[in-house]
């Protein structure tokens, strides 16, 4: 049973954010601006409809990559995956900005066996073994997505924010833990390390359960891949962009689906 749940969640995670906009993947830390010598954050990670109420699937923590201000990779503690959400704790002893990322690289296949439609998701090197020899109409897509959030102890820094130049990535122009209501924040999106121009970016404040309209804000990246939002109110914003292209690294795949999501906390003035 557990295996089934995990598999289903994995599927949901993979399909996101390309499937219906209804399912949103996120990580929400207990705090993003931190002081104190013995500081910790606890983080929820899930796929849900409402922001940020775990109501669908937990996020898969085997995708979690945490980068400390000095650029090293650090491990979470007390990681746990439940029915609707995953949680973990993170000690934040270093001064500067930590990047928390769920990095998902995989493939997605549709095929038919004896007239029955089948779907499979997994890692690229498992693809061959996973698709039966008698499968017909095999369509393979490559997936590359990132779900991130940021936590800063003391002064914000950018040692943890270097792009990997793979897939869609965010490069902060405004520091991601220095966001205030009423102020404009600017970021840059990169696709494989190059500016991702003319891409739609959406931002939605949390607590969607308590209002009727999603109040989504939309913008488009400029020729340098840059976009800005002026935050109308304090809150935890879900910022998302997605794209498709044919620059696959898996030879069976004709199409690559890309996604980037960040949860960004905006504090009141």
Partner 1 sequence: MRRLLPILLCVAVTAPVAAADLNLTVEIPQLKVAEYHRPYVAVWLEREDHSVAANLAVWYDMKKADGEGTKWLKDMRQWWRRSGRDQTMPIDGVSGATRPAGQHQLRFIDGKPPLGALAPGHYELVVEAAREVGGREAQRIAFDWPVKVPTHLSAKGTDELGQISLDLNP
Rule CB under 8 A: which residues touch partner 1? Answer: 31, 33-39, 152, 154-156, 178, 180, 267-269
Nearer to partner 1, 37 or 114 (CB): 37
Within 13 Å and on the Cβ side, how many CA atoms surround 100?
Answer: 30
Question: How does DSSP assign 182-216, residue by residue?
Answer: T-EEEEEEEETTEE-TT-EEEEEES-GGGSSS---
Q: How far is the CB of 92 from partner 1 (least distance, A)?
A: 11
Q: How far is the CB of 101 from partner 1 (least distance, A)?
A: 23
Q: How far is the CB of 91 from partner 1 (least distance, A)?
A: 13
Other CB atoms within 10 A of residue 51 CB? 20
Q: How far is the CB of 54 from partner 1 (least distance, A)?
A: 27
Nearer to partner 1, 81 or 152 (CB): 152
* The token pair that represents 86 in the structure block: 């995953």
Nearer to partner 1, 5 or 173 (CB): 173
Q: How far is CA 195 from CA 105, 169, 172, 192, 217, in A?
A: 20, 10, 13, 8, 21
Distance CA 189, CA 172 (A): 9
Nearer to partner 1, 31 or 61 (CB): 31
């Amino acid at each position: 049973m557990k295996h089934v749940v995990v598999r289903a969640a994995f599927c949901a995670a993979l399909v996101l954010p390309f499937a219906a906009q209804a399912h949103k993947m996120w990580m929400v830390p207990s705090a993003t601006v931190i002081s104190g010598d013995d500081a910790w954050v606890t983080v929820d990670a899930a796929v849900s409809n409402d922001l940020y109420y775990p109501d669908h699937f937990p996020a898969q923590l085997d995708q979690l990559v945490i980068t400390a201000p000095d650029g090293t990779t650090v491990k979470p503690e007390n990681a746990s995956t439940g029915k609707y959400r995953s949680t973990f704790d993170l000690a934040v002893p270093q001064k500067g900005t930590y990047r928390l990322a769920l990095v998902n690289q995989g493939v997605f296949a549709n095929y038919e066996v004896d007239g029955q439609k089948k779907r499979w998701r997994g890692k690229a090197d498992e693809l061959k073994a996973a698709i039966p020899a008698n499968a017909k109409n095999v369509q393979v897509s490559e997936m590359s997505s990132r779900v991130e959030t940021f936590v800063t102890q003391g002064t914000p820094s950018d040692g943890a924010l270097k792009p990997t130049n793979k897939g869609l990535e965010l490069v902060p122009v405004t520091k991601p833990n220095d966001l205030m209501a009423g102020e404009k924040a600017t970021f840059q999106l990169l696709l494989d390390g190059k500016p991702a121009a003319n891409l739609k970016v959406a931002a939605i404040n949390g607590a969607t359960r308590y209002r009727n309209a999603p109040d989504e804000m939309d913008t488009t990246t400029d020729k340098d891949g840059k976009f800005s939002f002026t935050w109308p109110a304090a809150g935890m914003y879900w910022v998302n962009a997605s794209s498709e292209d044919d620059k696959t690294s898996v030879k069976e795949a004709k199409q690559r689906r890309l996604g980037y999501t960040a949860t960004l906390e905006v504090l009141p003035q």
